[in-house]
Amino acid sequence: MSGSHVRSWYAASAPDFPAQATLEGTLQADVCILGAGITGLSTAIELAEAGLSVVVLEAQRVGWGASGRSGGQAIFGFGCDQSKITQAVGLADSKRLFDWSLEGLALIKGRCAQYGINCDWRDMHAHVPIKPRHITELKNWQNDLAENFDYPLQWWDREQLQAVMPNQRYLGALVDTNSGHLHPLKYTQGLARAALGLGVRIFEQSKVTQLVRGDRPVFKTVHGQVQCDFAVLAGNAYVHGIAPELDDKIMPVGTYIGATEPLGETRAKALIGNDMAVADVNWALDYFRLSADHRLLFGGRASYSTLPPPDLSGTLRRRMARVFPTLEGVKMDYVWGGFLDISLNRAPHWGRLGSNLYFAQGFSGHGIAATGLAGRVMAEAIRGQAGRLDMFSRIPHRNFPGGRALRTPLLVAAMAWFKLRDALF
Ligand SMILES: Cc1cc2nc3c(=O)[nH]c(=O)nc-3n(C[C@H](O)[C@H](O)[C@H](O)COP(=O)(O)OP(=O)(O)OC[C@H]3O[C@@H](n4cnc5c(N)ncnc54)[C@H](O)[C@@H]3O)c2cc1C
C-alpha cells in the first residue's frame, strides 16, 4: 500500500514512528534532501549539527526504502572488491577510502550512543566459503587487507566455525569483529528522531516530481516546493527521472529476505551460537543472522526484473534448509524484498552535478555503513570541504550498456553466467 512500510519483520517489530506532515506551500532552506533513508538522514544530521536549516522530502515514509528493509549486515569496505578502487585511484588513496569505510562503521556505533538509538546492534560478521576456490579467494583477500590496508581479519578453519555454527556447508570463515548487524528500520527511524531533535523538517508522502536547477535549486512536489542553496539526491534505486544523467549509472536489482517463526532461544543459539552475521561468497549469495527475538533472518534471492520472483517463501525456505537442514518445515512468518542500486563496477558513485547539487548512489548492496559515510562526506562538501567527496568522484563510472531498454536483459545474461559459475566451480 502506498505510504506504508512493506510487510516485514522489521515493520512489525520497530516502535511506532509518528507520521510526518506532507509538504504544502513554499519553504526556504539552506539544504533540501530528497530521500529519508540512511544517506539522506545522515546528511541532514551532519548539516543540522553544524547549524544549517535542512528539509528532507520523502515520497513514502521514513525508512521505507532499502534502509528499512535490508539484511542489516553492517560491513567494512564497499560493494566492489577494494582492488577495483585501487586500480582507479592508486593504493595510497584506496587506503584512505578504505579507512573512511571504517569510519562509516564507527559512525553507526557513535550515533547510537550519542542519540540513544536502540537498534539491536551485535558485533561480528563472517564471510564463509563453500568451495575450495572460495578459501583461496578469502585468504588472498585477508592477506591484501592485512598487508595493504592494515585491517587484519581472523581466519577460522572448519572446526572453529563448527564450534559456533555446526554446519556441513561451509569450509571455514573469514571473521571481522568490528563489523556486525542491526535492526535497520529501528536504526533509520532513530536517525530520523535525532534529525527532528536537531530541528530538521522531515516531510513524508511528499514525492519530488521535479528538480529545477539554478542558483537556488527548487524541489517540487505535488502540493508544495522547497527552494534551497544546496540540493541533495539520496533516493537510491527508488528515484528516477529527477537527474537523468544519474539514472543509467545504476541498475535496480530486487533482493529478498525471509524471517522464520520464532525458534526459541535454545534452538536459535544452536544455529549461530555467537550471534554473528554470516554471508557466503557466491555471486548469488545467501546471508543470514538471528533476530533479537530468536528468528532466523535469511536473505538469498535476487531478481533482475522489477517483479518479485514466484514462490518466494518456498525458494527462501529451500535455500535456508540447504544451510540449516534442521529448519526443514519451519514457517516463514515474513517475506519481503527491496531494490539495490547496483553500479556497473559496484563501486560507490558519489559526487556533484554543478556547484550546488550533490548525490550518492551505487551502494551495490553494501550500504548500511557506507550510507552514513556518504551523508557525512556530502555534508562536508556543502560546508566547503570537498576533499573527501572529490576523492570518491575520481572513481570512474560507466552507464549500463544497452540503455534503459536493454540493460536488464544484458544483466540477466551476465548474472546467469555468474550463477552457472557458482554452481559448477
Ligand atoms: C533487501 C535488501 C537487503 C540489503 N541488505 C544489506 C546488508 O545486509 N548490508 C548492507 O550493507 N546493505 C544492504 N542492503 C543495501 C542497503 O540497504 C542500501 O545500500 C542502503 O540502505 C541505501 O540507503 P539510501 O538511504 O541510499 O536509500 P534508501 O534507503 O532506499 O532511501 C531512499 C529513499 O528515497 C525515497 N525517494 C525516492 N524517490 C523519491 C522522490 N522522487 N521524492 C522523495 N523521496 C524519494 C524513497 O522512498 C526512499 O525512502 C540491502 C538492501 C536491500 C533492498
The predicted pLDDT at position 308 comes to: 73
Is the shortest distance between the CB of 358 and ligand 1 below 6 Å? Answer: no
User: What is the pTM assigned to this prediction?
Assistant: 0.95
Q: Which ligand 1 atom lies nearest to the CA of residue 64?
A: 49
* Local structure of 240: helix, strand or coil: coil
The predicted pLDDT at position 1 comes to: 43
Q: How confident is the model at residue 21 (pLDDT cuts 50, 70, 90)?
A: very high
Q: How confident is the model at residue 383 (pLDDT cuts 50, 70, 90)?
A: very high
Residue ranges and CATH numbers for the domains of the chain are 9-408 (3.50.50.60)
Long-range own/partner contacts, residues 159-163 (CB < 8 A, 24 or more apart): 161/126, 161/128, 163/273
Measured distance CA(127)–CA(204) in Å, rounded: 37
* Local structure of 388: helix, strand or coil: helix
Those residues with Cβ within 8 angstroms of residue 340's Cβ, 6 or more apart along the chain or in another chain: 66, 237, 252, 253, 254, 255, 363, 364, 365
Is the shortest distance between the CB of 70 and ligand 1 below 6 Å? Answer: yes
CA-nearest residue for atom 50, ligand 1, is 70
Q: In the predicted model, what is the mean pLDDT of residues 13-24?
A: 97
CA angle 129/265/292 to nearest 5° reads 75
The yes-or-no verdict on residue 348 having pLDDT over 80 is: yes
DSSP string, 141-177: HHHHHHHHH----EEEEHHHHHHHS--SS--EEEEEE
Q: How far is the CA of 7 from the centre of ligand 1 (A)?
A: 16
Q: Which ligand 1 atom lies nearest to the CA of residue 338?
A: 53
Is the shortest distance between the CB of 367 and ligand 1 below 6 Å? Answer: yes
User: In one letter, which amino acid is 216?
Assistant: R
The yes-or-no verdict on residue 413 having pLDDT over 60 is: no
Over the stretch 243-282, which tens digit does the pLDDT of each residue have? 999 999 999 989 999 999 999 999 999 999 999 999 999 8
Percent of the chain with pLDDT over 70: 92
Q: How confident is the model at residue 409 (pLDDT cuts 50, 70, 90)?
A: low
Measured distance CA(17)–CA(192) in Å, rounded: 9
Kindly report the number of other CB atoms within 10 A of residue 412's CB atom: 12
> Which is more confidently placed, 111 or 253?
111
Measured distance CA(251)–CA(143) in Å, rounded: 32
Q: Tell which one of 236, 255, 278, 341 to mutate to probe ligand 1, the residue whose CB is within 8 A of the most ligand atoms.
A: 236
Is the shortest distance between the CB of 57 and ligand 1 below 6 Å? Answer: yes
Report CA dihedral (190, 255, 142, 92) to the nearest 10 degrees.
Answer: -70
The yes-or-no verdict on residue 104 having pLDDT over 60 is: yes
Is the shortest distance between the CB of 60 and ligand 1 below 6 Å? Answer: yes
The predicted pLDDT at position 302 comes to: 72
Helix residue ranges, H only, 168-327: 184-197, 244-247, 265-271, 312-323
Over the stretch 286-345, which tens digit does the pLDDT of each residue have? 999 999 999 999 998 777 666 677 889 999 999 999 999 999 999 999 999 999 999 999
The yes-or-no verdict on residue 387 having pLDDT over 50 is: yes
Measured distance CA(54)–CA(215) in Å, rounded: 17
Q: In the predicted model, what is the mean pLDDT of residues 94-119?
A: 98
Q: Which ligand 1 atom lies nearest to the CA of residue 206?
A: 43
CA atoms within 13 A on the CB side of 330: 27
Kindly report the number of other CB atoms within 10 A of residue 384's CB atom: 6
Q: How far is the CA of 57 from the centre of ligand 1 (A)?
A: 15
Is the shortest distance between the CB of 34 and ligand 1 below 6 Å? Answer: yes
DSSP code, position 15 = P
Q: In the predicted model, what is the mean pLDDT of residues 75-79?
A: 97
Is the shortest distance between the CB of 72 and ligand 1 below 6 Å? Answer: yes
